[in-house]
Amino acid sequence: MTGILSFDDLKSQAASGAIDTVLVCAVDMQGRLMGKRFHVANFIESSYEETHCCNYLFATDLEMSTPEGFASTSWQQGYGDYVLKPDLTTIRPVPWLEGTAMVLCDVLDHHKHLPVPHSPRAILKKQIARLTELGFDAMMATELEFFLFEKSLDEIRKGGFRDLTPISGYNEDYHIFQTTKEEMIMRPVRNHLYAAGIPIENSKGEAEAGQEELNIRYAAALDCADHHTIAKHAVKEISWQHGHAASFLPKWDAKRVGSSSHVHQSLWQYGTPAFMDKHDELGMSAVMKHYMAGLIAFAPDYTYFLAPYVNSYKRFSKGTFAPTKTVWSVDNRTAGFRLCGAGTKGIRVECRIGGSDLNPYLAQAVMLAAGIKGIEDKMELSAPTRGDVYEDAKAGDIPQNLVAATATLRNSAFLRAALGDDVVDHYTRAAEWEQEEFDRAVTDWEIARGFERA
């Protein structure tokens, strides 16, 4: 029982007793799986057609609160229902849970049965459709970085998130011995995901104590986002099963490097790489240059979707491999965009801005929109930068905090045209709310700084 299951496969797994539970899930604004656990008999009989959820699920924050100011739903409008429409091409086993399968859903309006515009899956599908009209397919890969901790999530939460000791004692970048000590978690992560039809390439130690990276083989954009979401969920669940915490918070310690999610991108046409031109010095086609020009020019507009929380911006600091500049370079890890696989069939651009907390549907959608704009307007790509880009005074900056990124999002004519005003207004409100919540908090830092000395 491996890989994607057809509906008939699911029926026979149910008949044999191999599967008794189906997770029927949507992906929320934060990139989390939200939904219900169905008895397989009910799913096969009726719920495979549709089920429902409260529409606040797409107008809430990490805490599940109900902020004012969203046009799509509110207390006044009575928080009605959305339809969860299972996408039956995504049925797969969940091998780390007994007797369980999963299906991902599209989110539809309850009355008209049309896609909910601000649903992350719908936002990505819309940009993929635009790309299809231009004659291209997008192949994407999103890397997952995260930290593993000695204690469990429950112990850490009950302890007030204070005693955060990573699972290993020193920088484990590419370190085989150190990561062998984490194999009780990482081996089932790789193998269970592979058995769930997610093409895992490898896992490796990253550049901090307790930091791991999981790499998944590139895939069509929607599949890539589905893979990322399920893999992140699996890492958390499998770590939890073993009594350890996994965290995708980008920056949990100011003195340590943060966790990112780099996004590799290439366009293809009739199965051949549209980014490759073997006559070009670096092997880059005109399409690739236009795409990258759009990607770079509009990076400040869409940074919010790569860094959606207050904490996300703490990652962007000099000398940590996290970028601060909107420039590109050839295989140079200090720039926001890196050309990889120059001169080969695997030629692609890697965006290094995104944090481990990004929602892969939203991140890919806005970058595809930027690339499409670059292609449509035949935008010109500047020359690559060289050396330590952190010190390049001429290079453009990415927004340095959530307030700045919210302003560039709110005022982005490009994103309003590509995603729609309703979608931009919805996410602008989510961004504002996140900052408002932070501004209401009294932080440890303020107390330590001023308690005695103010």
Q: Tell me which residues touch ligand ADP (CB under 6 A).
A: 139-141, 201, 215-218, 264-266, 346, 348
Instruction: Give the DSSP H or E segment for 297.
Output: helix 286-297
The token duo for 44 is 């096969």
SS3 labels along the chain: CCCCCCHHHHHHHHHHCCCCEEEEEEECCCCCEEEEEEEHHHHHHHHCCCEEEEHHHHCCCCCCCCCCCCCCCCCCCCCCEEEEEECHHHCEECCCCCCEEEEEEEEEECCCCCECCCCHHHHHHHHHHHHHHHCCEEEEEECEEEEEECCCHHHHHHCCCCCCCECCCCCCCCCHHHHHCCHHHHHHHHHHHHHCCCCEEEEEECCCCCEEEEEECCEEHHHHHHHHHHHHHHHHHHHHHCCCEEECCCCCCCCCCCCECCEEEEEEECCEECCECCCCCCCECHHHHHHHHHHHHCHHHHHHHHCCCCHHHHHCCCCCCCCCECCEEECCCCCCEEEECCCCCCCEEEECCCECCCCHHHHHHHHHHHHHHHHHCCCCCCCCCCCCHHHCCCCCECCCCHHHHHHHHHCCHHHHHHHCHHHHHHHHHHHHHHHHHHHHCCCHHHHHHHCCCC
Least Cβ distance, residue 265 to ligand ADP (angstroms): 6
Nearer to ligand ADP, 264 or 429 (CB): 264
Nearer to ligand ADP, 24 or 141 (CB): 141
Nearer to ligand ADP, 140 or 430 (CB): 140
- Select from 146, 260, 153, 163 the least CA-distant residue to 203: 146
Exposure of 124 in the CB half-sphere (CA atoms within 13 A): 25
Least Cβ distance, residue 328 to ligand ADP (angstroms): 15
Nearer to ligand ADP, 139 or 351 (CB): 139
- Rounded Cα gap, residues 399 and 301, in angstroms: 9
Least Cβ distance, residue 212 to ligand ADP (angstroms): 13
Least Cβ distance, residue 214 to ligand ADP (angstroms): 10
Nearer to ligand ADP, 116 or 216 (CB): 216
Nearer to ligand ADP, 289 or 348 (CB): 348
Least Cβ distance, residue 130 to ligand ADP (angstroms): 19
Least Cβ distance, residue 291 to ligand ADP (angstroms): 12
Least Cβ distance, residue 176 to ligand ADP (angstroms): 16
Nearer to ligand ADP, 26 or 139 (CB): 139
Least Cβ distance, residue 309 to ligand ADP (angstroms): 24
Least Cβ distance, residue 204 to ligand ADP (angstroms): 8
Nearer to ligand ADP, 211 or 215 (CB): 215
Instruction: For the chain, count helices (H), then strands (E).
Output: 14, 17
Bridge partners (DSSP) of residue 214 are 144, 203
Nearer to ligand ADP, 218 or 291 (CB): 218
Nearer to ligand ADP, 29 or 231 (CB): 231
Least Cβ distance, residue 344 to ligand ADP (angstroms): 9
